[in-house]
Structure 1
Amino acid sequence: MKRLFCLMLLTLGARNVVAAAAPPRDAVSYVNPLVGTQKSSIGYGGTMPFVTAPFGMTSWVAQTRQNKISITSYNYDDKIISGFIGTHQPAIWMGDYGYVTIVPQSGALRTKPEDRAVAFRHEDETARPDYYAVTLADGLRAEMTGSDRAALMRYRFPKTGDARILVEASRPGINGFANVDLKRREITGYNPHRMDAHLGPDKGAAALPSFKGYFVVQFRELPRAGNTYGMNDANAYRGAYVEFTPGADVEMRVGTSFLSIDQARENLQHEIPTWDFTAAQRKLRAQWNDKLQRLQVSASNSEKAKLYTALYHAMLYPREFSEYGRYYSAFDDTMHTGESYTAYSIWDTFRAENSLITLMAPERVDGMITALLQNFKEGGWMPKWPNPGYTNIMIGTHADSLVAEAIRKGFHGFDRELAWKAVYKDAMSPPDGDTTRRWLDREEHTPYEARAGLTYYKSLGYIPTDKTDEAASRTLEDSYDDWCVAQVAQALGRTDDYKFFLHRSLNGRNLFNSKLSLMNGRTSDGKWAPIGGTDDTNENRAVSGWTEGDAWVYTYSMFHDQAGLMQLIGGADKYAAQLDKHFAEGHNVHKNEPSHHYGYLYDFAGQPWKTQARVREIAAKEYGSGPGGLDGDDDCGQMSAWLLFTSFGFYPVNPASGEYMIGSPIYPRMSLKLANGKTFTVTAQNNSKTNVYIQSASLNEKPLDKPVLTWEQIQAGGTLRFVMGAHPSQWGSSYRPTAVE
């Protein structure tokens, strides 16, 4: 027995040694950048497996198809790779600009994508935020890592056939430029292509003659030959190439810039100064871990993969657009001194993504707001979807919400008086030709849209459907933006302006049709417009007054005035009953942003247990950890931000209010390391897939009896404790929202 006991101790000790020897996994190891790249039963996220830094200016990805507006460079279901692109495309339905494509190839020179494509298998592919690798069917091995504005790549070529690196500067019809300097071991050039020329208010490429995406490609080994191609043919692919001996191992660095070739070279030297692939990868991995490890969670590996991948997606946008103190502005076609960002999908991201940044990357907020204000100075308006200049995509001026939220949360590193001028212009100045245009969705070559229909909004108290497209949605979203402008006015001591805009923020009530108990568009003579339906085409919805939705999607859309809506519907019980109908009849479409807050609205009606069940149901249905695990375009992090907030157990229904409505925490324990050095932790005792209902709650050992959390409470750190159960309770049921007067 003694020998057996000793043997057992030795065995247990050996197991403990093995366990102790296994290094802990870092946050990056859980990220799967392939999530959202495949269409599945859940949906299609339109994401790409980027190698880049958090908020990096240029992202690197394998190119499985030619990207354009509504098509991304990488799709999981594709079977070929035609190159590796340094892209700035932020969303599937938004275009690219100033991109550069690197093509390793062996054999004969092939410049067309369809000719140079090589098959690959996902079994031979590795994708992480800090590293991508793939072995192609012809035996070529490709690896890359990167930084904010640069990349380091290495290729192992097959033993037969010339080893060639082709650098594509531009596609047919685009006057790109490339040059080879064998002595310097460089290919340099630029690409002036901007796909947003088809989405914005300018007159195409001619409107920004100074715009170019510059690149410098450097090779560690001396090429044996090199040349340009297509440079004198307007209808050809343009670029340059260098060649090495068959079977060569080739290392190359790429720097990008929107200022000059010299700046691209300087960016490269600053970010990847040596030919040390491992060091560059470790640096990039450390950058990502710094962001990702601010989140800690007790969960299975597959659940951690969902969360850390969502945080990776959310920390990609908006993109940096400045280069060490200088930036090119697509709003006045001029170089400036300062900090700049672009790729704000604001109609999507003002809802939760921006709020997530204030928690996860607050050091970026002042610069991001300053960038919007610089755009205002340079182009006359804050943009709604810069990429990199104005694009008349979506509705409203929700940069007002970003400004109001930053002020509400105490950010001071931007010019508040300039911010007031910007939001005031949004709210009071109609766009040029406001009453002579219908402002069709993505109509080319119009003036900047701002708040289309504002002329009517100011005179009628709503935007008429017979005068302006998407008028009902615009009225409701403009009402929220008015509330945001009022908050800015109040913070700056402008009492009269505060009262004016607060009162005008109730304009959305003018669309409530009591017979239908729904919001309803109106014509200019005050009559009700056709209500529209979920099966309508986008064109019919626009005539009915809606943007990517219908009356059901938009009735609860005034985040700031749920108390007023409750009164219009007839009280809390009827408000909740109509929400029941909204979900039961399939009106809640989570893949599009206007539905994102609906699950949390039961909190306002004194039925928080329904919120708790709904948000858990949505999270389980709409998100997964595989390539098809994202329903709907991620839209620059908004879909991912919803999951992250919901996992914590709270969500910013009115993002500029500084308040978060409580849902149902998904995990037993989650914590957030705050920038002020404190930690905010959420624990959920007895939590499980069936125990979704809150039985009681406390914040720092003091009872919390309402389903609301504030910015200040989070920033103070501490612990929010929930006790969960399998059945609804009356916790939080006495809460009601305060009416805007």
Structure 2
Amino acid sequence: MGKYCTTLTITLLFSTCAIFAQPKNYIKWVNPFIGTERMGHTFPGATVPFGAVQLSPDTDTIPYSSNGKYNPDVYKYCAGYQYGDSTIVGFSHTHFSGTGHSDLGDILVMPTVGKLYLNPGTASNTNTGYRSKFSHSNEFAEPNYYRVKLLDYNILAELTTTTRVGLHRYTFPETDSAHIIIDLVHGIYNYPEKNVWTFIRVENDTLITGYRQTSGWARTRTVYFAITFSKPFKTYGIINGDKLIYKGFWRKFNQNTNFPENAGREIRCHFDFSTANHEQILLKVALSPVSTSGAVENLNAEAPGWDFDAIKNKGQEQWNDELGKIEVETLTDSDKVNFYTSMYHAFLSPTIYMDTDRKYRGLDQNIYTATNFDNYTTFSLWDTYRALHPLFNIIQPKRNVDMVKSMLAHYSQSVHGMLPIWSHYANENWCMIGYHAVSVIADAAVKGNDGFDLPYALMACVQSAKNNWYDGLGYYRELGYVPEDISGSSVSKTLEYAYDDWCIAQLAKKLNREDIYNEFISRSNNFQNVFDKSIGFMRPRLSNGSFKTSFNVLSTHGQGFIEGNSWNYSLYVPHNPDALVSMLGGKKQLRTYLDTLFTMHLPDEYFSETEDITRDGLIGNYVHGNEPSHHVPYLYNWTDNPWKTQYWVRTICNLMYQPKPDGLSGNDDCGQMSAWYIFSALGFYPVAPASPNYAIGSPLVTKATIKLENGKTLIISTQNQAKNNVYVQKVLLNGKPYSSYFLNHNDIASGGEITFIMGDKPKKLK
């Protein structure tokens, strides 16, 4: 009896330990539908962290031009999906998350039954094409899994992924006319020219290969693919435009009976099956930037079998590992959903861009091997330098180093001698302003995340900042500002160049290059050259040195600014707020300026037809939906009322981030909006990346445990946390009183504990 009891006790003990050892389920707090309605431009489909495949439904695509004019509806479909739509065109394998520009949507797959259509048809009448109606009541999404019922066909569609492979599982009704459509014409960004070229090759009755080359936002972008079916198809057909190339049974090639490959601009094809009721047909779609053989190798390496649930579960384990880097406790479930969905969105891009053998296509369209780093693409740097990459320096430092190495590889392949501006899929789009790769590089280096060639990186930064041909940069170097009569958005460019120059100076200082430091710290003061003291605002100057006479500080159109007006951009001196205070006349004057910004009313006449998007995220004239304002709430820390930062940060968190499809106040912009929320919910923010300092705000969490890659743990805890207790009464750093409104990066990277004691009334830290 004693032996039995001992054995039972040990068994129960191990069983109990096993129960407590189960990993926490963070993915249950992620809602991929947040941001899919209106302007968030996120997608709900399946992907793994930083995955090369983003397999998601497309509800529509809108041609870029209509009767030769810009069609504003094209802006709605940057991610291919709008929550308010009621039809699905199909499931494509590449998507941007939260961008303000569209591209991708490669290799559309759509299962159907009955009459065969090889055109998508219209949303108003799904009987005219292969698209189908759907209902949100029959739709479900979580990290690395998406499911929907296609109502027109009674087909259940399920999607999951590996890094480079999308896996589809379709449950069909009983029919002898089941079809799987492969549409190589479909794309999210439909220029009139459409595809440059597409190619498809039917290798056998379960495998097809090919590529799709497009000229859209990226002027030459090539995606290779390999598609394999779990069941041999009985017939197939290929059309090129309106021309039927082949329709019939699969058989070994015979030029008199079939033609198993074709190339052209508008290729669509179908693969036909007979199915029993509830029979499942699976297909795997592997992508490669290099070749069809690379796609086949990716498929074999990452998804050799057909166990859909195993692949789904493995991807979800990856998500749990990544989301678990920060474990939070919050006052409400809604706050926790907002936090972990923000973490999810922050880890969607940049994306892996290389095959499993580490080969990738370079900017010069040649093939390279990433020997000592993982190569990434999708760098929306005008957005992500502000908070996303600084966040990575805390919780994804190794990945961020690889991203820097990817940027340096881009530079080495550039005939222009430039670091990336906005790049994806071996292309430079030259979108937005500044040369903000230098911010990402300098921020990583200054914070000790410097596992890359620092002298080479400094050279790349300096060269990028000395290209006279780039976007008014030559005039900036000559005059100390960009003249509006020569280069539009001139004030925004001048201010952002000045900040980037300061970043280069910080990198030079780290490397003891006093000559470069002196040159660029001087250039970083160029913001003063566009400040008009007579009106107290930043103002465009002309090439003759005079200020632009016809000028309105509230207007967003043609006044020298981009995604903002003079009220917004006059605060864009993130690297030198003390100088901003001085220019405005003192701390009190800066506080008055900020108070007015947050409470003023913008008349309708200041919005043009194409700028209505700037209405999203407005609090007064503060525009949270546009990135140039993201540091602004934290500027109260440089005034005589620093607690107003705490009030406005908490207000923005509650107003602009909500757990519903239209819960984002603007484009998530490849994770920048989400990174702002993550930082702000934790209680601090990087006002000037490349500085080791963070400005303190108002933590939203009750507790956060940050697991650092160096093995240390940082705990952020709050006392007296409540909905109305937004004001920081006291800060403790490792148990000792801390009187500064700024944290140092070493305070974060060293681990330990930061305690915020909260209250419902403002109080200065002592």
Q: TM-score, normalised by structure 2?
A: 0.85
Could you tell me which of 299, 307, 310 is aligned with 1:279? 310
Pairwise CA distance, 1:322: 1.6
Deviations 1:47-79 (A, max 9, x none): 111311111112000121127763231111110
Quote the Cα distance in structure 2 between the aligned partners of 1:334 and 1:576: 53
| Structure 1 residues 117-128: aligned runs within 5 Å | 117-128=131-142
The aligned counterpart of 1:252 is 283
- Tell me if the contact between 1:32 and 1:128 (Cα under 8 Å) persists in the aligned partners: yes
2:421 paired with 1:384: yes
Q: CA offsets per residue over residues 329-353 of structure 1, 9 Å max, x none?
A: 3520110111421111101111101
Of the three residues 536, 540, 548, the one matched with 1:517 is 536
Alignment CA distance shift 1:674-1:25 (3 Å): closer
Q: Is the 8 A contact 1:27 1:308 kept in 2?
A: yes
Q: What's the secondary structure of 2:217's corresponding residue?
A: helix
Corresponding position of 2:439:
401
Whichever residue aligns with residue 129 of structure 1, its letter is P
Q: Secondary structure at the match of 2:428?
A: coil
SS at match of 2:92: strand
* CA distance 1:286–1:517, shift in 2 (3 Å): same
Measured after TM superposition, the shift of residue 387 of structure 1 is 2.1
Provide the rounded CA distance (Å) in 2 between the counterparts of 1:139 and 1:630. Answer: 33
Q: Tell me the CA shift for residue 225 of structure 1.
A: 1.9
Q: Which amino acid aligns with 1:79?
A: S
Following superposition, the deviation at residue 327 of structure 1 comes to: 3.8
Match of 1:320 in 2: 352
In the aligned structure 2, how far is the partner of 1:459 from the partner of 1:229?
57
Contact map agreement 1:476 1:557 (CA 8 A) in 2: yes
> What code does the residue aligned with 2:438 have?
D
For residue 655 of structure 1, report the CA deviation from its aligned partner.
1.3
Q: What residue is the counterpart of 2:255 in the other structure?
A: none
CA shift, 1:706, in A, is 0.6
Read off the aligned partner of 1:124 and give its amino acid letter: N
Give how far 1:530 is off: 4.3
Q: What do residues 447-466 of structure 1 show as CA deviations (whole Å, max 9, x unaligned)?
A: xx3xx212222222111111
Counterpart CA distance in 1 for 2:662 and 2:120 is 26
Structure 1 range deviating more: 223-232 or 119-128: 223-232
Distance in 2, Cα, partners of 1:503 & 1:232:
62
| 1:125 alignment partner AA | E
1:262-661 mapped onto 2 (5 Å cutoff): 262-299=293-330, 300-338=332-370, 339-379=374-414, 380-388=417-425, 389-431=427-469, 449=470, 452-530=471-549, 532-533=551-552, 536=555, 538=557, 540=558, 544-585=559-600, 586-661=620-695
2:24–2:320: 8 Å Cα contact kept in structure 1?
Answer: no
| Match runs of 1:180-259 below 5 Å | 180-183=202-205, 185-197=206-218, 204-205=219-220, 211-230=221-240, 237-247=266-276, 248-259=279-290
TM-fit CA distance, 1:265: 0.9
Equivalent position of 1:81 in the other structure: 88
Q: CA deviation at 1:98?
A: 7.6
Cα distance in 1, alignment partners of residues 504 and 22 from structure 2: 51
- Secondary structure in 2 aligned to 1:559? coil
Aligned partners of 1:90 and 1:343 also within 8 Å? no
Show the 5 A alignment for 1:117-196: 117-137=131-151, 138-171=153-186, 173-183=195-205, 185-196=206-217
1:104: Cα distance to partner?
A: 0.7
- Residue type matched to 1:230 in 2? N
State which drifts further: 83-92 or 278-287: 83-92
Distance 2:93 2:578 in 1: 48
Instruction: Name the stretch that deviates more: 454-463 or 260-269.
Output: 454-463
Change (3 A) 1:33 1:269: same
CA contact (8 A) 2:43 2:95 kept: no
Alignment of 1:658-697 (within 5 A): 658-697=692-731
TM-score with structure 1 setting the length:
0.88
CA gap 1:537/1:709 in 2 versus in 1, 3 angstroms:
closer
CA distance in 1, matches of 2:225, 2:746: 45
Deviation at 1:390, TM superposition (A): 0.9
Give the % identical residues. 37
Distance across 2 between alignment mates of 1:534 and 1:159: 66
Q: Distance in 1 between matches of 2:545 and 2:202?
A: 66
Q: In 1, Cα distance between the equivalents of 2:99 and 2:467?
A: 31
Distance 1:476 1:37 in 2: 33
- Letter paired with 2:582: Q
Please report how far the alpha carbon of residue 301 of structure 1 lies from its aligned counterpart in structure 2 after TM superposition: 2.4
TM-fit CA distance, 1:318: 0.8
- Choose 61-70 or 472-481, whichever is displaced more: 61-70
Which residue of the other structure, out of 726, 736, 739, is the alignment partner of 1:702? 736
In structure 2, distance between residues paired with 1:98 and 1:46: 14
Aligned pairs (5 A) from 1:697-736: 697-731=731-765
Q: What is the CA–CA distance in structure 2 between the aligned matches of 1:21 and 1:90, rounded to whole Å?
A: 36
In structure 2, list runs of 5 or more residues that go unmatched: 1-15, 65-73, 122-128, 187-193, 244-262, 601-619
- Which string of whole-angstrom CA distances, capped at 9 and with x for unpartnered residues, describes residues 399-429 of structure 1? 1101101111112322212211111112222
Alignment partner, residue 443 of structure 1: none
Cα distance change, pair 709–154 in 1 and its aligned pair in 2 (3 A): same
Aligned to 1:8: none
Partners of 2:367 and 2:51 lie apart in 1 by 20
In structure 1, distance between residues paired with 2:551 and 2:653? 29
Structure 2 counterpart of 1:103, from 104, 107, 110: 110
Q: Which position in structure 2 is the counterpart of 1:33?
A: 32
Q: Which runs of 5+ in 1 are unaligned?
A: 1-16, 198-203, 206-210, 432-448, 733-741
Letter in 1 for 2:628: P
Q: Distance in 1 between matches of 2:635 and 2:726?
A: 17
Aligned partner of 1:59 among 47, 54, 60: 54
Instruction: Give the equivalent residue in structure 2 for 1:13.
Output: none
- Shift of the alpha carbon at 1:91? 4.2
Distance 2:553 2:574 in 1: 22
Do the aligned partners of 2:508 and 2:516 also contact (CA within 8 Å) in 1?
yes
Give the aligned partner of residue 249 of structure 2: none
1: CA distance, partners of 2:274 / 2:508: 67
User: Shift of residue 95 of structure 1?
Assistant: 3.0
Q: Distance in 2 between matches of 1:581 and 1:643?
A: 24
**1:54–1:288 contact (8 Å) kept in structure 2:** yes
Q: In structure 1, what residue type is equivalent to 2:150?
A: L
Measured against aligned partners, the alpha-carbon deviations of 1:533-591 in whole angstroms (never above 9, x if no partner) come to: 476454x2xxx211111111111111111111111111111111111111121220111
- In structure 1, how many angstroms separate the alpha carbons of the residues matched to 2:271 and 2:264? 22
Counterpart-to-counterpart distance in 1, 2:93 and 2:552: 41
How far apart in 1 are the matches of 2:316 and 2:549? 54
Question: Structure 1 residues 622, 533: CA separation in 2 closer, same or farther (over 3 Å shift)?
Answer: farther
- AA partner of residue 514 (structure 1): K
The residue type paired with residue 165 of structure 1 is: I
How far, CA to CA, are the matches of 1:546 and 1:473 in structure 2?
5
Distance 1:93 1:602 in 2: 29
The CA RMSD over aligned residues, in Å, is 2.1
| Contact 2:97 2:345 (8 Å CA) reproduced | no
